[in-house]
Amino acid sequence: MPIFYYSAKNQAGETKTGTLETKDESNLAQALRQEGLILTSAKNMETEPVKKKFSVSAITKSIFGRVSIVERLMFTRHLAVMIGAGFSLHKGLEVLAQQTENKVFKKIINDLVIRIKKGETLADSMAKYPRVFNNFFVSMVKVGEKGGSLEEVLKNLAIYLKKEHVFISKVRGALTYPAVIMVAMIGIGTLMMVTVVPKITGMFEELNVKLPITTRILIFVTKIMSRYFVVAGIILVILVFVVIKFLKTQKGKRALSWFSLKLPVIKKIIQKMNCARFARSFSSLIESGVPIVESLTITSQTVGNFFYSQSLVDISVDVGKGKNLQESLDKYKNLYPILVVQMTGVGEQTGELGGIMGRLADFYEEEVSNITENLASIIEPVLMIIIGAAVGFFAVSMIQPMYSMMGNI
């Protein structure tokens, strides 16, 4: 029988959505009426083709094999709805594969269907694709399958992914403005140095005027950029490639993490971001029934900073030896604020560790949100100073020789 995605209203006028396997729309409407719902719209998910939209982002994801957090969020949420509606696991996955526009993700979901039909568990099947379903995701699904609470675990995962998406979006949104300004400034500066400045400096050289040091520096840089523009571009690309490769190594991650924890303003943001991610991931795992030691090990892979990741690995070892979590966290006072340590202790004492860590995550996510919102107002004056200094340097370098020329005349 076909599967319908429906929208209906109850007697209070509230809209309800979901999926139901039934013969046709008439039977769907009748089934909903028995539940006190009035059908407002229905869509046959198996026969009605999905309208393809041209999307640059979708094409890019397909080419580079990326599956966004939003796609994983929708996948998790819809799969939870289908399991709750009584669909078999492979049937729900087949429907989701049909609805997915990302070709790479569609291929992965279809492979999950094949593996599940062969008798593999969903968690083991997902573990074959660590770039899409990380250890955190797989561990929670495994707990759901073992405990018979897969629907509830998937709902918790969807909530986690949604909060993670909102969290990342706010941080990226706050950094977009200064990034755009910096890129535009570098682009305009490069264009000026290659096209406009050589014509002006050429005039100074012809008149054999004694030039100030700033003008001579500008002329030297201009000559290098205009004569060896292609070579400089190639060297820059190679340099960026080498730096990116280095930052992916263990030493690179360690160096970048150390540097980010030493910058005055950035240090607070990094600390709060990692505390928020630690608390959110750890809370989700504990609430799903994952043991504390295993939860700490998995959480160490979700935090971004090398030193936070290493600290959680060490803490998991200490907890495994019988130490309590509060005592273990307290050894890393430079990473975890006293609030994290104390709240963890309260959670251990009351037996509400998962819930308290969830509230701690809400607090730090809100803190990061407030900081990032104010970040633009902090960075904007700094950018204005940098732009002003660049313009001032250029103006002095150009105007001063002109005054010298006028004096000689």
Q: What is the pLDDT of residues 194-217, one digit of tens each?
A: 777 777 777 766 666 677 787 778
CB-side neighbour CA atoms (13 Å) of 95: 28
Q: What does the block give as tokens for 221?
A: 């840089």
Q: Is the dihedral of CA 265, 69, 108, 86 positive or negative?
A: positive
Confidence tier at 315 by pLDDT (50, 70, 90) = very high
Residue at token pair 């340590």: 341
Find, among 365, 388, 361, the residue nearest to 269 by Cα: 365
Confidence tier at 28 by pLDDT (50, 70, 90) = confident
Residues present in the chain in total: 409
What mean pLDDT do residues 211-227 have? 77
pLDDT one-digit tens code per residue, 49-97: 444 444 444 444 444 457 888 899 899 988 888 888 777 888 888 888 8
Residue 351: φ, ψ to 5°? 75, 15
Domains of the chain, residue spans: 3-162, 168-409
The C-alpha atoms of residue 137 and residue 112 are separated, in whole angstroms, by 15
The C-alpha atoms of residue 393 and residue 389 are separated, in whole angstroms, by 6
For the chain, the maximum distance between any two Cα atoms, rounded to a whole number of angstroms, is 99
The C-alpha atoms of residue 284 and residue 323 are separated, in whole angstroms, by 22
Find, among 163, 243, 164, 229, the residue nearest to 195 by Cα: 229
The C-alpha atoms of residue 264 and residue 113 are separated, in whole angstroms, by 50
Helix (H, G, I), strand (E, B) or coil at 42: strand
Select from 1.10.1740.10, 1.20.81.30, 1.10.357.10, 3.40.640.10 the CATH code of 3-162. Answer: 1.20.81.30
Find, among 275, 290, 45, the residue nearest to 156 by Cα: 290
Alpha helices per DSSP H over 85-148: 89-99, 103-117, 122-126, 135-147
Residue 218: partners with Cβ closer than 8 Å, 6 or more residues away:
197, 201, 393, 394, 397, 398
CATH number of 168-409: 1.20.81.30
The C-alpha atoms of residue 210 and residue 216 are separated, in whole angstroms, by 10
pLDDT one-digit tens code per residue, 107-134: 999 999 999 888 888 989 998 998 888 8
What mean pLDDT do residues 159-177 have? 79
Q: How many CB atoms lie within 10 A of CB 331?
A: 15
Find, among 4, 9, 41, 35, the residue nearest to 21 by Cα: 4
What mean pLDDT do residues 308-319 have? 91
Is the Cβ–Cβ distance between 150 and 82 less than 8 Å? no
Confidence tier at 404 by pLDDT (50, 70, 90) = low
The C-alpha atoms of residue 193 and residue 348 are separated, in whole angstroms, by 62
Q: How many CB atoms lie within 10 A of CB 352?
A: 14
Is the Cβ–Cβ distance between 141 and 152 less than 8 Å? no
pLDDT at 3: 66
pTM comes to 0.64
The C-alpha atoms of residue 346 and residue 203 are separated, in whole angstroms, by 74
Between 221 and 2, the more confident residue is 221
pLDDT one-digit tens code per residue, 262-309: 887 778 888 888 898 899 888 888 887 888 898 898 888 888 889 999
Paired residues of 3 in beta bridges:
21
Q: Do domains 3-162 and 168-409 have the same CATH topology?
A: yes
pLDDT one-digit tens code per residue, 385-395: 888 888 787 77
Is the Cβ–Cβ distance between 81 and 19 less than 8 Å? yes
